[in-house]
């Protein structure tokens, strides 16, 4: 619960900072406060008119259309690739890769500049970036497969060393008089706002190819992520696929770097995929959702950045993706925190009920069972016996009994005696039978000693499905009479009978 | 090439930084959290921005505090997201630090018309400028030695890291290799984790000012991984990683002086060159380490005779 409140506070913080349309007055106040303290001038923070908002969101504004569309397309492509990356537990590969691109960019810049051009041909720089990016990924894979250095350290090494060399090269270029390397810095922080049609065509073309490849090779990539060894054994070229996936990651990274910057493209690769994971366990659905979340954060982020002053597109997109992530982490229908808390609670209630009913049944059996043939009468038992039958506290037992009464399993519970209703008795008999079946199965097929079998069966019996019970019945048919409830294969620890036993 | 007093102080500052990072770096590598240094160094941006916004000055202390707090928060959020959301730790780290970096960028751009805190400065640093920011001058045996400001800061951080590691060596060791065992022995593994993260955060932030984060990221990982290839003993690993760090600093500075003129350039970033030399050292060890190096492995694997039956069974399933 504490965690929940903390996360909520974080959500609010992110919302306040990233959502000026929703909380404009608050942001205004904060900003004014901040600038006053900083001694800067007060700035008014005007909301754009609603028509402008509509124009941008509906892509009717030509200036922003390109930017918004390209960030959306990028979101789709990185959503696909990022999903496989996440499932392969290699999310941070994008991080290593984007840093490893820097030396290539500078190298191609130097080569192109010395060949006589301005050195800023986009295609050339992207080629350079892909070159060292792919080399970097290759080195990571090589280090982690040929030495005892783990893959996280290998990524750290490639990231820092390549980036360091890149910085050293870039500084060399910058210190050379007469050469302008101003465009290179855009690669680190991105320049989505200054995108031209040519850039857009290149970006969307490559993004479509990436997305198509991901969909075409979905089965193969899925096998690579979930069961590499099996893939190898049925003859898939696993290493080739691995390399191909990394090339796709490199392509997305290189493309996105130019739009949102070297550091924020990592978010594009990681966040939408992790967000989608909260909603589904199905790979196809996950891919679609991940692409959807990527496109959505691109759309919202780029639109917001176009509408409001001083909002760098890359940063707003990442914050949008983070908001989606946090919401999904809380409310996701498959792995969301809320969903897991609820289902855990339900399981706890179920286990508690079954333990209580079985304990009552076993006590009735101990006291009134006279022969194997006769059916058991539904009699009341002593509360004190029930309390000592299992290791549970008086408080938790009475909690269970009260719930049993609400669920119409317990007929009477007055602090001295406990008795079951008809439906409770039937349920108790069924649960005990399942428990005994599983115990006998473990003894005969898994060679577990009868004295130890109770606890082993305890952890499984709550999840036995009807089909499983039928299977157990057919497996044990030769051993026991499965029509009735079999006797317990082990002794019970019987506590000293409390006073008043004879009154019953 | 002439060696000047300024060169000495650059190498000294670089080495101090390298050793201060390499020591906690060993534990980071062992705990498979090597990318944390990178994550923290990006995620402290909102802390720097807030420190600046709240005080309105670029005084070191508030920005330092803000950044250190953000560094710890990064570790905390990463841990919480991966624990509560059941997200892979790498992904949790990626989400946390990109979000915080974006927040920082937004804060800076929103708050200042002209960007006073240059994010670039944080990323690259300017090690070659350290001699000009002097703290004081001491005279020793007739020589006048300028003490750079950053040398003092980094020495304090180094002493702190060294002290903590020596004092809690056993605890760090057990919780790095086997957190469950540590817990059963009564060591608070969680606390150890956050202590390590605090060390990394403080070291990263302290090194920012003077040398830039790229050295920090490199020195947190590369020397430790190099040492890991050379020894199986944690104490020796710590010593080797420190030596590798110093070597990289020396080599990096020398190559920063020698290499650019050879290629026809005027100068370069010493920080970048130090990271590059660390990579070179790692590559050398990766190939030629006596036991775990590639060459040694190649030779030792030839000695193993594969029995016929095993060999034929293996070839049945194509690799």
Instruction: Find the distance separating the first CA and the last CA of chain B, reported in whole Å.
Output: 54
Residue A293, CA distances (Å) to A69, A137, B236 in order: 14, 26, 48
- State whether residue A92 sits within 8 Å of chain B by CB: yes
Whether A241 shows a pLDDT value over 70: the answer reads yes
- B292: chain A residues, CB-CB within 8 Å: 147-148
Specify the higher pLDDT residue, B79 or A483. B79
Chain B residue with minimum CA distance to A150: B32
Beta strand residue intervals within chain B, DSSP E? 134-140, 143-148
Separation between Cα atoms, residue A163 and residue A187, nearest integer Å:
13
Residue A493: pLDDT band by 50, 70, 90 thresholds? low
In whole angstroms, what is the distance from residue A497 CA to residue A366 CA? Answer: 12
Could you say which residues from 124 to 163 on chain B have a Cβ atom under 8 Å away from some Cβ of chain A? 124
| pLDDT tens per residue across span A337-347 | 999 999 999 98
pLDDT at A290 over 90: yes
Tell me what ipTM this predicted complex has.
Answer: 0.87
Mean pLDDT for the stretch of residues A463-477: 77
Q: pLDDT category, A18, cuts 50, 70, 90?
A: very low
Q: What is the pLDDT of residue B224?
A: 95
CATH of domain A48-335: 1.10.3470.10
Which residues on chain A are in Cβ contact (under 8 Å) with B215? 164
Whether residue A309 lies within 8 A of chain B, CB to CB, comes out as no
Sheet holding A381-382, edge to edge: A381-382, A417-420, A410-413
List CB contacts of B151: < 8 A, sequence separation 6 or more: B9, B12, B13, B16, B130, B135
Sequence-distant (≥ 6) Cβ neighbours of residue B42 within 8 angstroms: A263, B97, B98, B100, B101, B213
What tokens appear for A331 in the block? Answer: 């409310």
Q: Looking at mean pLDDT, say which of A22-26, A453-457, B234-238 comes out highest.
A: B234-238
CA closest to A146 among chain B residues: B294
Task: Give, in degrees to the nearest 5, the angle at Cα B217 between B212 and B221.
Answer: 150
Question: What are the structural domains, with CATH classification, of chain B?
Answer: 5-250 (1.10.3470.10)
Residue A10 has pLDDT above 50, yes or no: no
Reported confidence tier of residue A158, pLDDT bands at 50, 70, 90: very high
The CA distance from B265 to the nearest CA of chain A, in Å, is 6
Give the pLDDT confidence score for residue B112 in this predicted structure.
64
Query: B304: which 2 tokens?
Result: 């193993």
Tell me which residue in B113, B225, B260 faces A153 most closely, judged by beta carbons: B225
Q: Which of A376, A352, A353 is nearest to A363 (CA)?
A: A376
CATH class of A345-503: mainly alpha
Give yes or no for B17 touching A (CB within 8 A): no
pLDDT band at A405 (very low <50, low <70, confident <90, very high): confident
What 3-state DSSP class applies to B71? helix
According to the model, what pLDDT value does residue A136 have?
93
Contact B102 A319 (CB under 8 A): yes
In the stretch 15-34 of chain A, residues with CB closer than 8 A to chain B read 17-18, 31, 34
How distant is the Cα of A439 from the closest Cα of chain B, in angstroms? 31
What is the nearest CA distance from B135 to chain A, expressed in angstroms? 27
The pLDDT confidence band at residue A126, using thresholds 50, 70 and 90, is: confident
Residues 6+ apart with CB under 8 A from A466: none
Q: Does A193 touch chain B (CB under 8 A)?
A: no
* pLDDT recorded at residue A179: 58
The radius of gyration computed from the CA coordinates of chain A, to the nearest angstrom, equals: 33
Contacting B residues, span 65-84, partner chain A, CB-CB under 8 Å: 77, 80-81, 84
A145 touches chain B (CB under 8 A): no
Which among B80, B265, B272 has CB closest to A3? B80
Higher pLDDT, A7 or B295: B295
Q: Going by C-beta distance under 8 Å and a sequence separation of 6 or more, which residues neighbour residue A502? A: none
CB-based contact B102 A90, cutoff 8 Å = no
| A-chain residues near B38 (CB < 8 A) | 95, 156, 159-160
Predicted TM-score (pTM) above 0.90: no
Q: Answer with the residue of higher pLDDT: A160 or B125.
A: A160
Alpha carbons A400 and A389: distance in angstroms, whole number: 14
pLDDT in the model for residue B287 = 92
Which parts of chain B sit beneath pLDDT 50? 114-124, 316-319
Q: A10, A24, A150, A157: which to substitute to probe chain B, counting the most B Cβ within 10 Å?
A: A157
Domain ranges for chain A: 1-47, 48-335, 345-503
Would you call A176 and B265 a contact, using CB atoms and an 8 Å cutoff? yes
Average pLDDT of chain A, as a whole number: 79
Chain B residue with the nearest C-alpha to that of A40: B112
Q: Up-side HSE of residue A335: CA atoms within 13 Å toward CB?
A: 21
* A-chain residues near B268 (CB < 8 A): 168-169, 171-172, 175
Backbone angles phi, psi at B136, to 5 degrees: -175, 175
- Determine, for residues B85 and A337 on separate chains, whether the beta-carbon distance falls below 8 Å: yes
Percent above pLDDT 70 for chain A = 78
Determine the residue among B57, B117, B125, B272 to mutate to test chain A binding: the one whose Cβ has the most chain A Cβ atoms within 10 Å.
Answer: B272
Strand ranges (E), A330-409: 381-382
Is residue B47 helix, strand or coil? helix
Interface residue A278 vs chain B (CB under 8 A):
yes
**Would you state the pLDDT for residue A25?**
35
Q: What angle do CA B224, A261, B80 make, to 5 degrees?
A: 55
Determine, for residues B220 and A156 on separate chains, whether the beta-carbon distance falls below 8 Å.
yes
């Amino acid at each position: 619960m504490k965690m929940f409140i903390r996360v909520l506070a974080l959500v609010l913080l992110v919302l306040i900072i990233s959502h000026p349309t929703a909380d404009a007055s608050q942001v205004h106040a904060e900003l004014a406060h901040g600038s006053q303290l900083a001694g800067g001038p007060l700035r008014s923070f005007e909301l754009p008119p609603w028509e402008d908002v509509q124009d941008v969101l509906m892509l009717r504004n030509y200036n922003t259309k390109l930017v918004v569309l390209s960030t959306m397309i990028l979101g789709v492509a990185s959503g696909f690739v990022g999903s496989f990356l996440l499932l392969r537990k290699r999310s941070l590969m994008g991080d290593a890769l984007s840093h490893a691109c820097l030396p290539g960019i500078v190298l191609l810049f130097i080569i192109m500049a010395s060949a006589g051009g301005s050195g800023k041909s986009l295609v050339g720089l992207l080629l350079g970036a892909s070159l060292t990016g792919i080399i970097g990924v290759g080195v990571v894979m090589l280090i982690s497969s040929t030495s005892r250095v783990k893959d996280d350290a290998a990524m750290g090494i490639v990231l820092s060393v390549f980036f360091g060399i890149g910085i050293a090269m870039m500084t060399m270029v910058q210190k050379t008089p007469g050469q302008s390397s101003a465009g290179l810095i855009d690669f680190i922080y991105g320049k989505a706002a200054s995108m031209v049609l040519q850039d857009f065509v290149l970006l969307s073309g490559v993004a479509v190819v990436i997305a198509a490849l991901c969909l075409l090779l979905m089965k193969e990539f899925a096998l690579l992520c979930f069961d590499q060894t099996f893939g190898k054994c049925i003859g898939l070229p696993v290493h080739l696929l691995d390399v191909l996936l990394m090339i796709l990651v490199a392509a997305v990274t290189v493309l996105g770097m130019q739009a949102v910057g070297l550091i924020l493209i990592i978010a594009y690769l990681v966040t939408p995929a992790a967000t989608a994971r909260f909603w589904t366990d199905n790979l196809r659905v996950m891919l679609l959702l991940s692409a959807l979340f990527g496109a959505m954060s691109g759309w919202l982020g780029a639109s917001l950045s176009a509408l409001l002053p001083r909002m760098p597109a890359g940063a707003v997109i990442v914050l949008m993706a983070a908001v989606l992530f946090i919401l999904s982490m809380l409310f996701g229908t498959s792995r969301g925190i809320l969903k897991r808390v609820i289902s855990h609670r339900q399981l706890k209630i179920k286990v508690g009920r079954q333990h209580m009913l079985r304990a009552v049944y076993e006590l009735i059996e101990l006291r009134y069972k006279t022969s194997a043939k006769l059916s058991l009468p539904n009699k009341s038992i002593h509360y004190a016996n029930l309390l000592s039958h299992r290791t549970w506290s008086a408080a938790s037992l009475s909690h269970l009994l009260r719930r049993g009464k609400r669920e119409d399993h317990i007929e009477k519970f007055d602090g001295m005696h406990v008795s079951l209703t008809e439906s409770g008795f039937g349920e108790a008999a069924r649960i005990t039978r399942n428990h005994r079946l599983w115990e006998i199965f473990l003894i005969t097929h898994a060679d577990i000693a009868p004295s130890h079998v109770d606890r082993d069966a305890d952890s499984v019996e709550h999840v036995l499905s009807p089909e499983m019970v039928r299977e157990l019945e057919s497996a044990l048919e030769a051993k026991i009479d499965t029509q009735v409830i079999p006797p317990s294969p082990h002794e019970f620890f019987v506590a000293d009978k409390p006073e008043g036993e004879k009154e019953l | 090439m002439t060696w000047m007093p300024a060169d000495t102080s650059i190498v000294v500052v670089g080495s101090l930084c390298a050793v201060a990072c390499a020591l906690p770096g060993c534990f980071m590598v062992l705990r498979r959290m090597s990318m944390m240094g990178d994550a923290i160094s990006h995620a402290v941006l909102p802390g720097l921005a807030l420190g600046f916004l709240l005080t309105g000055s670029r005084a070191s202390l508030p920005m330092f505090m803000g950044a250190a707090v953000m560094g710890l928060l990064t570790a905390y959020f990463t841990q919480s997201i991966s624990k509560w959301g059941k997200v892979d730790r790498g992904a949790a780290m990626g989400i946390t630090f990109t979000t915080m970096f974006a927040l920082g960028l937004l804060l800076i751009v929103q708050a200042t018309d002209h960007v006073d805190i240059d994010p670039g400065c944080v990323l690259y640093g300017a090690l070659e400028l350290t001699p000009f920011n002097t703290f004081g001058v001491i005279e020793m045996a007739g020589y006048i030695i300028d003490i750079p400001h950053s040398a003092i800061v980094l020495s304090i951080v180094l002493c702190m890291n060294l002290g903590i590691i020596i004092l809690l060596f056993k605890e760090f060791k057990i919780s790095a290799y086997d957190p469950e065992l540590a817990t059963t022995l009564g060591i608070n593994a969680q606390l150890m984790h956050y202590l390590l993260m605090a060390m990394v955060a403080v070291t990263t932030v302290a090194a920012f000012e003077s040398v830039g984060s790229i050295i920090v990221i490199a020195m947190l990982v590369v020397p430790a991984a190099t040492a890991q290839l050379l020894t199986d003993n944690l104490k020796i690993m710590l010593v080797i990683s420190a030596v590798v760090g110093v070597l990289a600093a020396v080599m990096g500075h020398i190559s920063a002086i020698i290499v650019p003129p050879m290629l026809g350039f005027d100068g370069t970033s010493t920080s970048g060159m130090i990271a590059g030399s660390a990579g070179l050292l790692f590559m050398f060890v990766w190939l030629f380490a006596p036991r775990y190096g590639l060459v040694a492995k190649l030779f030792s694997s030839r000695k193993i005779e594969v029995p016929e039956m095993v060999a034929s069974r293996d070839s049945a399933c194509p690799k």
